[in-house]
Structure 1
Amino acid sequence: MDAFALSNAIQQQEKQPRRRITCETLMKITLDHIDKINPNYNAIILLRNRNELLEQAKEYDQALLLQHQQQQQQCDNDNDSISRHYHPPTKTLGWLHGIPIAIKDLSNAKGLPTTNGSSPLSSFTAPARTNDLYVEHLINAGVIIIGKTNVPEYGVGSNTYNDRWGDTVNPFADTSLRRLSAGGSSGGAAVAISTKMLAIADGTDNMGSVRNPAGWNNIYSLRPTSGLIPTTTTTTTTTTTTTNTNTAAVSSSIPMISASSILPYPESTPGPMARTPLDCALLLQTMVGNTERFNAIIGWLGDWQGHLPFEDGILSRCRAALEQWSFVSNNNNNNISSDTIMVSNVDDNKNKRSASQQRPLLFSFEKLWDGYNTVRFASRYEHFSKDFDIESILNNKEGGGVKEELLWELKMGQSITTSEMNKAKEVHGEYTEWLEEMFNDFDVLALPSAQVYPFPIEERYPTTINGRTMDTYHRWMEVSVPVSFGGLPCMTIPAPLSSSSPSEFGSSSSDGNDKYYNNKICLPIGIQLFAKRGDDLKLLKLANEYYHIIPNNNNSSNKK
């Protein structure tokens, strides 16, 4: 069941017993399924004690019973004005009451360690003393936190593996024959949802961290407007025994201009992940409330006028899904909305621009890439300088055992100059102006969620795409940068799966070669729909229409 259906079943357990499910029963089913499935995929870590969770679920059932009794008593007193006057108001339990969830291991959940998928930089024997604010909102809505979901070390790289907890693998391939990447950094959350270990989960997104995993695991996600979901806490968390004892020594090497002065919003944002857009919408509302909905004309950006390389089939598959959506909408074959969905190539919009405009139709991606990385590297260096003895990390030839990609980013951040920071700020201003122009012509822009299909997890990251060499470990995910650098909300929707059965993935062909190489079209890929800042609910509305119009298999095929 999705979270909304589970909520209805739980809340109805006293009113309609035949349709009910108790919190205790749901918890037992969830834990049994995790025990069976999770060893194959390693999505959930730090799972709490089973008996403690079942006891907590029983307490949630008692709270439901008490609420029902209070509501019944209040109804009985409706004709008695004195009793009604003195009767205490009934506390309404949240829509997520009793629903299990695991929190991404980059965020704080009280009582659980926040390991950030890291061994060398943290001993992490102490649990967090408080919740991140959005986690607190989830708890207030009634969730039962059962553990954490796996991440790459400190969220670095869109491939979920680390030395502390191991690899999280994609469920859309036969893991006995070929282990494919689940994406990242919210790979654990995406796999847990796709395999139905969880109905919903939280993710966080800097450079595609809720978008790529959603696309590769055939689910929905939303990267909200940066800053829309609050993350700050009022109490310092105790999550590490490692402290920075050399702040003064490194302060002179931190760029004079802070990364936070370039972007007027956080570079990373939490976001909801689920199997349905409705659950994404409800989860977002739980975190931040509601906003106005609107219509949309979708601008397809494709390969950004040749800049972005893609594996064969990705662009055509994503574009075909949008075209099918537009066709059904324009022929009034759906009852979801009276809106008409229109899809247009951004390249076809050249004639709408005046001859006096000297700026190219699409923003220079290299400028975008350089500006984004300047902020990314500087911010990474600033954060680690505050939390750790960064000089000892940088001076150690092995980086103190930290992930080599993380060490590289820290060194890049250390070398950034004030001039480069000023340039990044200038580029961000130009890009913001360009976005304003684009959103005058289009309500929503669209790109694939990744430039490649899920790849073997042992590869760490792709080094070439369609013959083009990737010059950095994260260049293969540059398709996510237009959203991240703009701080834009982005909904990831799954492109329809091929009619070929995903159960064939990884099986060996007669000539000994893996069918993986010839059947990538059967693997999941997603579409990024992004809009201007603050238009999060518009994206969820559109995704809900898409969900009801475009057929898709939302179940992974290799659950064991």
Structure 2
Amino acid sequence: MTAPDANSPSVPGDDIVALDAVALSRSIHARELSCIEVMDACLAQIDRLNPTVNAIVAMQDREALRTLAGERDAQLSRGESLGPLHGFPQAPKDILPVAGMVTTKGSPIYKDEVSKVDAVIFERMRKSGAIFIGRTNSPEFGLGGHTYNPVYGTTRNAFDSSRSAGGSSGGAAVSVALRMLPCADGSDMMGSLRTPAAFNNVFGFRTTPGCVPYAPSDDVFFQQFSVAGPIARTIPDLGLLLSVQAGFDARAPLSRRNDKPADFAHALERDMRGTRIGWLGDLNEHLAMEAGLMDTYASALRHFETAGCSVEAVNIAFDFERLWNAWIDLRSLTFSGTNAPLYRNAATRRLLKPEAIWEIERGLKLSGEDVSRAVRDRAAWYQAINALFDRFDYLLMPSAQVLPFDAQLDWPHAIAGREMDTYHRWMETVVPATMAFLPALSAPAGFGPGGLPAGLQIIGPTQGDLGVLQMGLAYDRASGYSSARSPLLG
């Protein structure tokens, strides 16, 4: 097939951005679309919708981006492909470093800091042919499940711009939902891939720690909570991006050597009939849930049965306050260990948001005995949830305890009349998978009261990342929820 003229697009921009990532990669490599056409279509979509939602920030020079796209076309004309992401516009989340780009972490402390190196995940995406057009917005230091910060402002929901996009990968989820990007990277410590995916009717995958190398980092030997992973509109798109991101890297000593990253893109088909699924629900009413949301989840569960699975409600005999207290201690320990110097410096301390100060002060007060107790409690929780995989192949939980809330709020202070005692208690539903080191996919679960998106976590056994995606694909085909378009798309 003759390549299209890069200077006169032959395919309407709306049709280009409507392509899923797998189809887009195929069309670029078949030379049915030029990389310049793809770049122009994405930039036009950003110009049309980003002013409403503020998802992509720190945009790069347009002519420089078109030049890079032209170079990608020239490579293909010589029969040279860099990889699955060849010519893909991408906007790395503004938390990990990207060489030559500002990495603010949503903080005025770093608003002018230009990174000198790529995080491994971005190094791999760049080598696979991605073109970095800007950054996706994140809350300050990634803290909290609502994307706003004093550097770039608030990111708004893809389905209702008066509502929260979730966080901390809120900019990434909105960019994908509104087709400004074909897929996107994110990170997750306490639901930062899962909450925004749920709020914007896309998929967000918290990978098993070590599946995707998390480096450079000063705490590579203690990197057990924050993970990097993909956000996409379909499971095959999720697998395509993850096939690039995943795999061993010696700079990340906890990364896994025996994974086969290509399987994420090419081994998703699986007959799920007979699969046993346990529904953890609201943890026997431990979790506060917004009115009507459990009914939305109940409707979503039926689609697993359509796919041939059996679904059984199950309770775990565990003290969830014990789990929560262990979690907030280990989280504060991790955050304070990295950021305590900012707290001790009066000039930078005044620029920290209250939630950051709260985390650091808690972490600095912890004793060795406190940390040891939290580690033991975490181990006990792992054994309790791991025992369920003797009876079930996968577990399900809500991705969020609330529907997208007013974007003007800092965070939900109460759910169904129950006061939230910390800034992140309203996100407690994502803690069980994080604390147990388990892979968890947030998949669209339909729309709750008011027509706002909801999401459901599919949780797999230890290092069962591929199986989670396979289950997600079968569920998505049965439910069809992911095909719902945002009204902002017109």
Q: Same fold (TM over 0.5)?
A: yes
> What is aligned with 2:110?
122
Q: CA deviation at 1:92?
A: 4.4
Letter in 2 for 1:279: D
Residue 131 of structure 2 corresponds to residue 144 of structure 1:
yes
Question: Match of 1:113?
Answer: 102
Name the residue aligned to 2:464: 535
Larger Rg: 1
Task: Kindly indicate whether the alpha-carbon contact (under 8 Å) linking 2:75 and 2:81 is maintained by their aligned counterparts in 1.
Answer: no
* 2:144 corresponds to 1:186: no
Please name the residue that 1:409 is paired with: 359
Deviation of 1:233 (Å): 3.6
Residue 157 of structure 1 aligns to a residue whose secondary structure is: coil
Distance 1:49 1:229 in 2: 30
Following TM superposition, by how much is the alpha carbon of 1:533 offset from its aligned partner in structure 2, in angstroms? 2.2
Correspondence 1:320 to 2:299: yes
Change (3 A) 1:10 1:169: same
Residue 473 of structure 1 corresponds to: 423
| Counterparts of residues 384-463 of structure 1 (less than 5 Å) | 384-385=339-340, 388-393=341-346, 399-463=349-413
TM-score for the superposition, normalised by structure 2: 0.88
Q: Is the 8 A contact 2:85 2:129 kept in 1?
A: yes
> Which amino acid in the other structure matches residue 373 of structure 2?
K
Q: Distance between the aligned counterparts of 1:364 and 1:442, measured in 2? A: 21
Q: Taking structure 1 as the reference length, what is the TM-score of the superposition?
A: 0.77
1:253-280 deviation line (CA, Å, top 9, x unaligned): xxxxxx998xx75210001000001111
Displacement of 1:123 after TM fit?
4.6
- Say if 2:343 and 2:357, in contact at 8 Å, map to a contact too: no
Q: Given the alignment of the two structures, is residue 274 of structure 1 paired with residue 286 of structure 2, yes or no?
A: no
Structure-to-structure mapping, 1:254-403, within 5 angstroms: 265-288=223-246, 289-290=261-262, 296-326=275-305, 328-329=306-307, 340-347=308-315, 361-385=316-340, 388-393=341-346, 399-403=349-353
Alignment of 1:33 with 2:33, yes or no, is: no
In the alignment, structure 1 residue 547 sits paired with structure 2 residue 479: no
| CA positional deviation for 1:392 | 2.6
Task: Please show how residues 82-231 of structure 1 align to structure 2 within 5 Å.
Answer: 92-119=81-108, 121-125=109-113, 127-173=114-160, 175=161, 179-231=162-214
Q: Deviations over 1:178-219 (max 9, x none)?
A: x21100000000000111101100000000000000000000
SS in 2 for 1:202: strand
Cα pair 2:111 2:151 within 8 Å, conserved: no
The CA deviation at 1:389 is 4.3
Over the matched positions of the two proteins, sequence identity in percent amounts to: 35
User: Which residue pairs with 2:4 in the alignment?
Assistant: none
- Flag the 1:442–1:124 CA change in 2: closer, same or farther, 3 A: same
1:542 deviates by 1.1
Residue aligning to 1:249: none
1:365 Cα offset (Å) = 0.8
Which residue of structure 2 aligns with residue 24 of structure 1?
36
The total of aligned residue pairs comes to: 450
Deviation for aligned residue 1:319: 2.3
Give secondary structure in 2 for the equivalent of 1:298: strand
Q: What's 1:351 paired with?
A: none
1:67-116 deviations in Å (ceiling 9; x for gaps) = 0xxxxxxxxxxxxxxxxxxxxxxx54311110111000001111101110
Secondary structure at the counterpart of residue 278 of structure 2: strand
Matches within 5 A, 1:50-69: 50-67=62-79
Question: Which residue does the alignment assign to 1:509?
Answer: none
CA contact (8 A) 2:332 2:359 kept: yes
Aligned match of 1:245:
none
Within 2, Cα distance between the matches of 1:116 and 1:172? 25
Distance in 1, matches of 2:425 and 2:210, equals 25
1:264-319, CA deviations, whole angstroms, 9 ceiling, x for partnerless residues?
Answer: 75210001000001111111111121468775421100110110010112122112
Q: Tell me, which stretches of 5 or more residues in structure 1 are unaligned?
A: 14-19, 68-90, 237-258, 330-339, 348-360, 499-518
The answer to whether the Cα contact below 8 Å between 1:194 and 1:554 also exists between their aligned partners in 2 is no
Say whether residues 1:2 and 2:8 are aligned partners. Answer: no
RMSD between superposed Cα atoms in Å: 2.0
Deviation of residue 122 (structure 1)? 2.4
* 2:472 aligned counterpart, secondary structure: helix
Residue 171 of structure 1 contacts residue 559 of structure 1 at CA under 8 Å; is this kept in 2? no
d(CA) in 2 for partners of 1:399, 1:317: 43
1:24 and 1:6 map into 2 onto residues whose CA distance is: 13
Whether the 8 Å CA contact 1:304–1:362 is kept in 2: the answer is no
Cα distance change, pair 94–298 in 1 and its aligned pair in 2 (3 A)? same
Is the contact made by 1:22 and 1:61 (CA closer than 8 Å) also made in structure 2?
yes
Deviations 1:402-434 (A, max 9, x none): 111111111111111112111101101111211
Structure with greater contact order relative to length (CA < 8 Å, sep ≥ 6): 1
Q: What letter corresponds to residue 536 of structure 1 in structure 2?
A: D
Per-residue CA deviation, residues 441-473 of structure 1 (Å, 9 max, x unaligned), is 111111111100111011111111111111111
Q: Which residue of 2 aligns with 1:516?
A: none
Q: In the alignment, residue 455 of structure 1 is paired with which amino acid?
A: F
Maintained 8 Å contact 1:318/1:527: yes
Residue identity opposite 2:327 in structure 1? Y
Structure 2 stretches lacking a partner, 5+ long: 1-18, 247-260
